[in-house]
Structure 1
Amino acid sequence: MDIKTRQASHWDDYIALRRDIHRHPELGFEEHRTAGLVADRLRALGYTVTEGIAGTGLVGSLRHGASARSIGLRADMDALPIQEANDIAWASQTPNIMHACGHDGHTAILLAAAHAIAQRRAFDGTVNLIFQPAEELGGGGGARRMIEEGLFERFPCDAVFALHNMPGWPAGQFMFKDQVMMASADRVVVTFQGKGGHGAVPHRAVDPTIAAASAIMALQTIASRTIDPLQSVVISVGALNAGSTYNVIPDSARLELSVRTLSATVRDQLEASITRICTLQAESFGASAHIDYQRGYPVLVNTTAETQSAIAVARQQFGDARVVTDIDPLMGSEDFAYMLRECPGCYLLIGNGQIGEHDDATGLTNCMVHNPGYDFNDACLAPAATFWAALVEHRLAPA
């Protein structure tokens, strides 16, 4: 009996579980209820569970046979600080927090796969299921903390894999990208310090807003005139704050930038260029600039052998028509990149449905993640869990 047939009777249970997690979202490093639920499920399936890694993170391990080979599968568990706008029975019951990125789905998928893996035991080696907190928190999030607390020393993995749902693609479509797949993401806070004064006598002040405005325009020349045009670079001003009333020149102005690229080398160039431009623009107006350059997630780089292995499994399970093997890189970022710096592996996507597509069953119209109207598409759960179980059996096939 194959994975899909054997597991079919359990899909409704895991859809109900996904919706229960959606109803009770928790922010990064606060996923106590979710982690407890996951731990209970894994223990009931026969996994050895280690809790308290990076606070609310945990690993469920299952060994079968005599092989020393191992594999890691990772799911993220945290929600976002967004007020849900959906009118559905499983809508968030916690004000201003919702699963707007589908991590409820990722968690349920991996638990459903855990069920199939434990039930079949058609592998030889060790399976490590990594349930990670705080993917949404930037550079100091859950993946980095789990690694710092000895994740791969305590739970060695020959390769590690993760997936994310992706609106804009048909539900259940699998998408892959070898090598560079997602961008680094840095946060830069620039404070321009001037000298405040009366708006009627600007010559007696040093206006930091002029320096900030000039720097905003100059920063855009980095992508157009400093970096190789074949490289992908994004410098976005997300916040500009200065002053409190119309007739007072403020003492300071503050910029917050989002900086992204697909190259570690270009990332270093961006930091140097942003620092130079902001410093010199401020000095040219008699002001000064303090640059707080905060490095977040690194570039996410899949390894070729593991990517090709995952593609082969997806094709075997679902056919060529449902597998895209060379999608364009994404300028979004993912802290699974930290795990891929420590261990070979592959990060892949599964379609969550076309954007604008209406679901008569839920009454929802599919939209992009990080949106108050988003919901994970439960039609993704069965194929994704089936893929995970098949990947384990492929990678750890008995000799």
Structure 2
Amino acid sequence: MEIKEKIKQLAKAFSTDFVQVRRHLHQHPELSFNEHQTSKYIRQQLRKIGIEHIQTVAETGLLATIHGTEKDKTILLRADMDALPIQEENTVDYISKNNGVMHACGHDVHMTSLLLAAKILYELKNEFSGTVELLFQPGEEVMPGGATMVMKEDSYKALGPIPHLGQHVMPNLPAGKVGFKPGLFMASMDEIHITVIGKGGHAAVPEECIDPILIASHIIIAAQQLVSRMASPKTPSVLSFGRIIGDGANNVIPDKVTIEGTFRTYDEVWRTEAIEKLTKLVKSIAEGMGAECIVDIPRGYPHLKNDVALTNSVKQDAILFLGEDNVVDLDLWMAAEDFAYYSQNNPACFYLLGVGNLEKGITSGLHTPTFDIDESALETGGGLMAWLALEFLA
């Protein structure tokens, strides 16, 4: 029997057990860098498979190793572990048991797929040559990103530059399908924190105040020039503000207003210029209207660039495993991922795993309280990861 058929059979045979693994992880989500019970559970699952070479990285992360018959080529498969501060609103039996915490970005699926791939690879360890590293990474959702911590570990550094593969769930893509994008794929991400400090007072006497709410309004509107008039139309850029806090009342002008947002793009030079321009623009508006302005824009994740040769090769391997109809080409995605750090120093491929199912009503987006998946995607995710690893090693 060909190795491809063996992988498919094993993925199908083990999938029911790993649905339960995914449900356990979904019920017990933990926030970034606090994935202590998650780490303990994954270690137990790896040992249950038979994998003994397991190292702790980035405090709550794990780096496990499966050796084939020879120790020549090496590939790394990565999954992230952390959940989001969201109150789940699903009515499923496996709803989160941790109040205000939810796997709303599919990291439970990522971990389960990697564990299923590990099970398959361990079963076949006498039938391939090379080494597969399994990275369960904490803290993807918050800066500085768990990837930066993993990359400082001696155990990770010892691997040297090797191919990295990672996958991310996508509800807009039907379960059973996957998508690839060679070259530029995901955007950089910088957090924007602006504090406008004025002078509060009674709303009936605005002439005695320096109104930070009015000033913040001007800032938000004017800041959009950054994308509409300062950015090249050839360079995708997004500037969005998602939070404004002006703690006054209907008749109270507050002393200060805070504004929070994000800036994303694909050009690192423009990224630096844009942050400088935004800072200058925001401060000049506030100061021109008599207020003080504090701008804090901590540098976030870089843009993610898939290695063209590796991604094209992996895509062809996916077609061999899933069929051409189940492999799609992707466009740019303005989301950000700390997998981007790995892609700066290693040939890397980050692809999307379909988890949606319109007929079953599984359509909610990422980072929403009703996000869920068609669990048949676990068989696809785990089987494909194992296949892609072995095809590279072969």
Q: Name the TM-score, length of structure 1 as normaliser.
A: 0.92
Which amino acid in 2 is paired with 1:123?
F
List alignment gaps of at least 5 residues for structure 2: none
Distance 1:218 1:62 in 2: 54
Q: What's the counterpart of residue 278 of structure 2?
A: 274
Equivalent residue for 1:163? 167
The Cα offsets for residues 74-106 of structure 1, whole Å up to 9 and x where unpaired, read as: 011211111211111211122211211111111
Q: Is the contact between residue 219 and residue 285 of structure 2 (CA under 8 Å) also seen in structure 1? A: yes
Residue in 1 aligned with 2:138?
133
- Select the residue among 344, 350, 371 that pairs with 2:353: 350
Correspondent of 1:317 among 318, 321, 342: 321
Question: Equivalent residue for 1:83?
Answer: 87
Aligned match for 1:191, one of 192, 195, 204: 195
Residues 1:142 and 2:141 aligned together:
no
Q: In 2, Cα distance between the equivalents of 1:389 and 1:227?
A: 42
Equivalent of 2:267 in 260, 263, 267: 263
Which of 7, 13, 17 is the matching residue for 1:9? 13
Aligned length: 389
The separation in 1 between residues aligned to 2:70 and 2:8, in whole angstroms, is 26
| AA of the residue aligned to 1:191 | T
The Cα shift of 1:368 comes to 1.0
Q: CA deviation at 1:150?
A: 3.8
Q: Is the 8 A contact 1:123 1:392 kept in 2?
A: no
Distance in 2, matches of 1:320 and 1:248, equals 62
Deviates more, 1:147-156 or 1:91-100: 147-156
Q: How does 1:365-376 map to 2 (within 5 A)?
A: 365-376=362-373
Aligned with 2:129 (options 124, 132, 146): 124
Q: Which 5+ residue runs of structure 1 have no aligned equivalent?
A: none
SS in 2 for 1:112: helix
Q: Is the 8 A contact 2:310 2:349 kept in 1?
A: yes
Letter in 1 for 2:257: A
- Contact 1:72–1:157 (CA under 8 A) maintained in structure 2: no
CA contact (8 A) 2:186 2:266 kept: yes
Relative to 1, partners in 2 of residues 1:317 and 1:214: Cα closer, same or farther, differing over 3 Å? same
- Corresponding residue for residue 395 of structure 1: 392
Q: Contact 1:101–1:376 at 8 Å: present in 2 too?
A: no
Pick from 309, 333, 338: which aligns with 2:336? 333
Q: CA deviation at 1:151?
A: 5.3
Residue pair 2:243, 2:260 contacting (<8 A) in 1 also: yes
Aligned partner of residue 378 in structure 2, secondary structure: helix
Counterparts of 1:358 and 1:366 in 2: how far apart (Å)? 9
Q: Which runs of 4+ in 1 moved over 4 A?
A: none
Q: Secondary structure at the match of 1:163?
A: strand
Distance 2:280 2:251 in 1: 31
Q: 1:279 to 1:307 in 2, by over 3 A?
A: same
Amino acid at match of 2:81: M
Change (3 A) 1:242 1:8: closer
The answer to whether the 8 A contact 1:65-1:125 is kept is: yes
Letter in 1 for 2:344: R
**Corresponding residue SS for 1:136:** coil
**Do the aligned partners of 2:237 and 2:265 also contact (CA within 8 Å) in 1?**
yes
Instruction: Report deviation, 1:63.
Output: 1.7
Displacement after TM superposition at 1:269 (Å): 2.1
1:29-83 C-alpha deviation (Å, 9 max, x unpaired): 2222221121122223333443431111001101223343210000112111112
Q: In the TM superposition, what is the alpha-carbon distance from 1:148 to its structure 2 partner?
A: 2.5
Aligned identity (percent) is 37
1:229-278 residue CA offsets vs partner (Å, 9 max, x unmatched): 22211111112222423334332222112111122122112201110111
Which stretch of structure 1 is more off in the superposition, 209-218 or 158-167? 209-218
- The CA distance in 2 between the partners of 1:25 and 1:206, in whole Å, is 45
Residue 100 of structure 1 corresponds to 104
Shift in Å at residue 200 of structure 1? 3.6
1:383 to 369, 373, 380: 380
**Per-residue CA distance 1:132-191 (angstroms, 9 max, x = gap):** 112112x22211211123453133452001001101112111100011111111111111
TM-score (norm 2): 0.94
Q: 2-side partners of 1:191 and 1:180: how far apart?
A: 33
| Partner SS state of residue 390, structure 1 | helix
Residues 177-231 of structure 1: CA deviation (Å, up to 9, x unaligned) = 0111111111111112223344344333333223221111110111111111222
